[in-house]
Structure 1
């Protein structure tokens, strides 16, 4: 029988300290066990009566993974990575193209276990997926957002060249979001991709609507 694998799972990103691979079902139990209590989850996700808060948070994570790969299309996709340092899982990094073939813009989100914070890993994680986005995926812009008092997330964005654009208010919490944006030109003019290895992307390019990799 011919060997078969889902092309997305061949994508691998490596930085000085991190190894990012596309999430698989086998990763879910470990990620659920490590899910930080202070991570803000999707407020619109289904919550189940009879499950405690911890179990509901795990359900949001698992169903988010299934939804991302199960509903994948070149027009609207979400690519979840498991982040490892020294072989140990330390977090997750998402890269998303919610209106990809229309605007070629990517968004991102991530989390780290508490013991891995404060070591510059958040910047490496984001830089890794930006190297993928602005490299073989040919993104034109990257956007992100964080509540105004989330200094760590906004610090990562600004350190990588994002610029503030506007603010908005979250309906469910009343918190103020700061939105930021990074252009392809700014990324390519920087040296943030130096030392980042992006591997295994070519077989997956048709899933992003890219039929000519040249």
Structure 2
């Protein structure tokens, strides 16, 4: 039996403009770790190792996050990390998540990062739009949510450019910082036409892994 038969999620491919997004695999990790930006905010639910250098700690968190996503995958709670390439160069990562009982709620979340030298070029908007089209056009999502620290103008700007609306703010217990929460509805996404420039391939064989049993949105 081929690995592609067991784990067809790895065959999903997204293209938007100059960018190519493919699911992260174990051989991608060394390159990804070499390019992690120093200001990357890691998932606060992952373990922290106080004795480690901060850069090593970020790398450990990313690797554990990848393993958690693959090892803990279920149709009700999944996370698909993509490696983002520009002309073959790895420039960042984009994660699409279906947490919180995805089969019932059909709400996706996302997170991403770019290397420092590729910021401010509109790439963050392109890569988020790519996974939104995957979610709304192929995975049956009814809404997408996002959140960012109030001072993270770049992330909030991407969300608002793509049509997300502010919903509420919250305060994180572990650091006291404020988060802005946003939401985008499927009808608003389709009505914007932003997904028409995105090419999505390889989703069909993977649909049961998202709990869709061959159905399409």
Q: TM-score, normalised by structure 1?
A: 0.97
Query: Secondary structure of 1:83's match?
Result: strand
Q: What is the rounded CA distance, in whole Å, between the counterparts of 1:95 and 1:167 in structure 2?
A: 22
Q: How far 1:54 moved relative to its partner?
A: 1.3
In structure 1, the partner of 2:155 is 153
In structure 2, the partner of 1:36 is 37
Which of 189, 212, 215 is 1:213 aligned to? 215
Q: TM-score, normalised by structure 2?
A: 0.95
Runs of 4+ in 1 over 3 A off after TM superposition: none
Aligned pair count? 213
Q: How does 1:94-173 map to 2 (within 5 A)?
A: 94-99=95-100, 100-173=102-175
Q: How far 1:49 moved relative to its partner?
A: 4.9
Q: How far 1:138 moved relative to its partner?
A: 1.0
Q: What is the rounded CA distance, in whole Å, between the counterparts of 2:155 and 2:163 in structure 1?
A: 13
Are the counterparts in 1 of residues 46 and 64 from structure 2 also a CA contact under 8 Å?
no
Query: Secondary structure of 1:165's match?
Result: strand
In structure 2, the partner of 1:91 is 92
Q: How far 1:48 moved relative to its partner?
A: 2.8
Q: How far 1:170 moved relative to its partner?
A: 1.2
* Deviates most, 118-127 or 50-59: 50-59
Q: How far 1:50 moved relative to its partner?
A: 4.1
Structure whose residues are more often helix by fraction = 2
Query: Secondary structure of 1:145's match?
Result: strand
Does the alignment pair 1:179 with 2:181? yes
Structure 2 residues without counterparts, runs of 5 or longer: none
Q: CA RMSD in A?
A: 1.1
In structure 1, the partner of 2:3 is 4
Query: Secondary structure of 1:21's match?
Result: strand
Are the counterparts in 1 of residues 204 and 214 from structure 2 also a CA contact under 8 Å?
no
